[in-house]
Structure 1
């Protein structure tokens, strides 16, 4: 049970993923049904204790034995039990057992229904478990912001790097940050820069992204529009001078 709980936390990671994905809702349903099983089992346990007179021994408790003392008749030998008292005790014990049996028989349908509920819900829990195995984890089904550092490739090889950040990486308006670095890791100002979006599997793009300078080597697009879900390619083309150009690209999921 502990292992399953840890695994569920790893697959979900956040409350948002729990209530915004198919995996999360199936997991919530499974947890709810497990609670129903525990409740039904509790009802059955209480029924057995009350109707059959079964009591769970207390940890560390001492067992007690009730000894009945009977006065010996004048005609009987010393220490002998009174036959009348012994008969009455036996009849009382038999009556008690008979009453418990009759009471248990009257409530057997209720116990049967409780057990059937346990069996039916357990079968549903097993089915939900099978569904969870074949469902993508919630953490992979929720949109994740993009933050990646890529080398800039030129005709003569790598030359500097570019850092791309896309938030929240969902359909609609997104914020894009572009940082350009030279080979020493310092921000550098290029002669020109262009960014485009493409979704090859849906034949969308390239869509030019408008950038605004936000500082040396830093560009921002506050309204970068992503038309819909898919695996999008963000391409950057940097012109370092009149004769040198470098490019970089990255793919990221949009859900």
Structure 2
């Protein structure tokens, strides 16, 4: 499987929106979308006033659809999108691919229908106004992935792509695990911000994402999953590469690479 690493939205402090573009036999698959064209053109309407806290660059060339085109693909080649969660900096480009099947974890889909206070700011109705083609997945038990719960059958996607429930930041927040053929890649979404939070060998504070975590909707679940991510790295770093949505250093190392 070939994997392209895309930054779909530079933000304050150099933070990135680390999305994945996977080349599969089922067509192209996006993991998260970052900010889309409508976000660039009408930021206040589409993103709301809170986007000013993140100060996104809102550069059309950073949108997933323009990067797909720059790689020589047609936008219609993107057949599936897997979302870690529905926050506007992760789902902002959905409307650029209205034909794609959008895979969303059940608790997150239900939160969209009945959002709490934090989610009302994070989920933006204009991003979903086109009527996404939702494919809702649920974890119903069964075989695990390195000790984590795993949804192994995502309709239309190859078995190499798994949804890994990592609740806390949002009620249905997931990671996305990808079997690259030479090891696993875990896109851990917003469970972490910087590698120093799970890898003691990295410079920086292990509490870098603490505020981000405790202001989520389920902080105790977030903390439990952070500890599990640390254990996963400690015990299986030779088998699993962990990335987050926003770590600029990790993105710089992987960007432009194709596995």
Per the shorter chain, which TM-score range?
under 0.3
TM-score after normalising by structure 1: 0.19
Higher relative contact order (CA 8 A, sep 6+): 2
Which is higher, the Rg of structure 1 or of structure 2? 1
